[in-house]
Amino acid sequence: MNNLSVSFHFGGAFGQENLSIGDFKKENETRCSEAASWLKETPSNVEGHGWIDLPDIDTAEIKETAKWLKGYDSIIHVGIGGSALGNLMLNQSLLSEYHNSGACFPKFYLADNPDPTKTHVIWEQVKEGTVALVGVSKSGATAETMSQFLWFREKMTKLKGNADEDILVITDPEKGIFRAYAKYSGCKILDLPPSVGGRYSVLSAAGLVSAYALGIDIDAILEGAGKMKKILLENSSIDTNPAWIASSLHLFHEQKGRPMAVIMPYSSKMAFFAEWFAQLWGESLGKEGKGTTPVRALGAIDQHSQVQLYTDGPDDKFFTLINLKKHGERVYVPPVDCDPLKPLSYLDNAELGNMLRLEAMSTAAALVKKGRPLIWMEIDQLDCPTLGALIFYYEYMTAMTGRMMGIDPFNQPGVEQGKKYTYGLMGRKGFEEDATEAKEWFQKISGISLKI
């Protein structure tokens, strides 16, 4: 794993459970092998399996479209779920958190939640300059995405007359509302592979086109993902494959009554990585009464908000802590220069990145002392290849865990029910019965009320 600068440490992964690593591996080797074979041998054109080929895609068309996007002052990206979180994760991890406040162009705005205040604020930020609108939806029917797409398109049309030449849609290659709109309007269009689900789509055009427009090296991201793919697909032993061990551990702790999977990176640049993981994990595995609830935490911030619960609360969580060895810029604490501050002299010349590393170690040690199970991961630096490797690792490990749980990690029946209710309540034709049913279920909520 050295060429990817990612390492995995499982010595604290059993908590208070009385089980040797040798016995654990023996118990899970066959199940891991079956799940790995399923992922490796299922054709990538089968529904849900297309993500496994994304590290090998040709990026020429993506780059050409991104060069067009570079010519705008601002990009408004409209999407939700996997069509949004992946972009936020790439941008935060690899660009400055304050990209939009600097002199860099184009600015990037993500319109995900259909919150009218946020929608208006985005438009106020961009309306004085040139604007490109990017809509991402495989069907072109997602209510949250399409409502905002229509709103921004009208604003752009009123501003310059014909907005279609400033619009890019990323959608199904053959069907759907966005596909029909692109044929009608002549706007730019990129394909979403039909066998790739939204939460697994960050390494497709959905995530990469805006990333390249903002200056991110997408070839390096895919190179890292490809290296991780090679490692995970070719290491067919639980002794050498970290995803086999991690998947088995997650399943083991679910069965032992730990229904929560906490991911806690020690880097502000990885806050949206944790958000992206939460959707990937929760939507892939929460089915048929199974799965574990993803919990996002951020070190060292959540040492002061959650670690009290993690160490002294119920033993119902399985932790993954991610330590970043090199944070980039070095920031040193100056020596104390006055008597009232002398008690802080222990911080003289301390480097903040190293301090964050020591805090990660302290949290891990405190958890292990309390018998809380954890995986410790380390990465040398958060660059494009490493991020690509982490993305593929978590996609693979999630899919493998789902297979080992006996569920389909690529569908989302619970989400679809909510979508149907929304369509019905919004008056979409063909969903009248869903509207009636939603109202009936919602009526039960107001059966017991208290107004103050």
User: Residue 140 sits in a domain of what CATH number?
Assistant: 3.40.50.10490
C-alpha 318 chain-centroid distance: 19
Interval 286-316: pLDDT, tens: 999 999 999 999 999 999 999 999 999 999 9
Residue 175 sits in the same domain as residue 233: no
pLDDT band at 101 (very low <50, low <70, confident <90, very high): confident
Cα separations in angstroms, 75 against 69, 101, 109, 133, 448: 7, 14, 6, 6, 46
Residue 206: pLDDT above 50? yes
Characterize the bridge pairing of strands 188-191 and 131-136.
unpaired
User: What is the average pLDDT across 235-262?
Assistant: 96
**Is the separation of the CB atoms in 247 and 404 below 8 Å?**
yes
Q: In this structure, which long-range contacts are made by residues 46-49, counting pairs with CB atoms below 8 Å and at least 24 apart in sequence?
A: 46/195, 47/195, 47/410, 48/195, 48/196, 48/197, 48/200, 48/408, 48/409, 48/410, 48/411, 49/195, 49/410
Q: Which amino acid is at 71?
A: G
Characterize the bridge pairing of strands 167-171 and 188-191.
parallel
**Is the separation of the CB atoms in 32 and 181 below 8 Å?**
no
Residue 214 sits in the same domain as residue 347: no
Burial of 250 (0-12, 13-18, 19+ CB in 10 A): buried
CA distance 148 to 166: 16
Residue 260 sits in the same domain as residue 347: yes
Residue 1: pLDDT above 60? no
Structure tokens at 449: 């009320």
Query: What is the pLDDT at residue 88?
Result: 95
Residue 162 sits in the same domain as residue 259: no
Residue 99 sits in the same domain as residue 190: yes
**Residue whose pair of structure tokens reads 């979180």 in the numeric block:** 85
* 397: in domain: yes
| Phi (first) and psi of residue 209, to 5 degrees | -65, -45
Residue 173 sits in the same domain as residue 196: yes
Q: Which among 171, 191, 219 is the end of a domain?
A: 219
Least confidently predicted of 124-128, 312-316, 444-448:
444-448
Domain of 328? 2-40+223-405
pLDDT band at 446 (very low <50, low <70, confident <90, very high): confident
Query: What is the pLDDT at residue 180?
Result: 96
* 277: in domain: yes
**Is the separation of the CB atoms in 348 and 333 below 8 Å?**
yes
Least confidently predicted of 21-25, 72-76, 355-359:
21-25
Cα separations in angstroms, 347 against 327, 331, 341, 363, 404: 19, 12, 11, 19, 48
* 429: in domain: no
If one counts the domains in the chain, the total is 2
Characterize the bridge pairing of strands 107-111 and 74-78.
parallel
CA distance 365 to 371: 10
Cα separations in angstroms, 336 against 339, 353, 354: 8, 19, 19
Residue 107 sits in the same domain as residue 240: no
Catalytic positions are 283, 304, 419
User: What is the average pLDDT across 244-267?
Assistant: 97
Residue 208 sits in the same domain as residue 269: no
Residue 81 sits in the same domain as residue 207: yes
Q: Which one, of 208, 210, 211, lies nearest residue 196 by Cα?
A: 208
CA distance 184 to 368: 60
Interval 314-333: pLDDT, tens: 999 999 999 999 998 899 99
